[in-house]
Amino acid sequence: MKRFFIVLFATVLSFGTGFAKDQSIAYIDMAYILKNLPQYEQANEQLTMLSKRWQKEIDAAQQEARVLATNYQTEQIFLSEAMRREREAEIVRKEQEVLELKRKYFGQDGELYKKREALIKPIQDEIYNAIQELASEKHIDIVKDRSSDPSLIYMSSKLDISDQVLQKLGAK
């Protein structure tokens, strides 16, 4: 019985190592690829400009809310109860407007997310298709991204196909 398990273990081990030897692995550096694609840089610049414009709009609304609050603090003692409530409501509305702008532009499904999806996703799809074509041509079974693999300590440069992916995409 003991001998059976030893033979079974040796058989499984030999199949496992034989299978691993038949797989070919390559690596890409997605950060490097993206950095070398002009369309990605343009998309990023466009996103940065939009983000700055929207942030200015939010900052202006926040400044208005601060001015309203400061004015209210200084004039509070001269205001009637009805005027105080009206001013407090106005401050709250302005603060709500600021929060709504933040959500609208930078929230989970905000304009920045949608714009990033529209600009970056096609580029990522193009890269994925180029990787898939290259892997198919070179009979590569597994392609890993070394820029997002924290467990990768060393990789031979001959396994890096990043430049070949860039070539396939027409980048220099």
Give the DSSP H or E segment for 164: helix 162-169
H/E run at residue 157? none
At 5, the pLDDT band (50, 70, 90 cuts) reads: very low
* 121-169 pLDDT tens trace: 999 999 999 999 999 999 999 999 888 877 777 878 888 898 999 999 8
- At residue 7 the predicted structure's pLDDT band, cuts being 50, 70 and 90, is very low
Residue 131 DSSP one-character state? H
Instruction: Give pTM, 2 decimals.
Output: 0.70
Q: What is the pLDDT of residues 15-24, one digit of tens each?
A: 555 454 568 8
**Torsion angle in degrees (nearest 10) through CA of 85, 90, 93, 98:** -140
Query: What secondary structure letter does DSSP report for 158?
Result: G
| Angstrom distance (rounded) from CA 162 to CA 130 | 10
Residue bearing the bigger pLDDT, 5 or 80 = 80
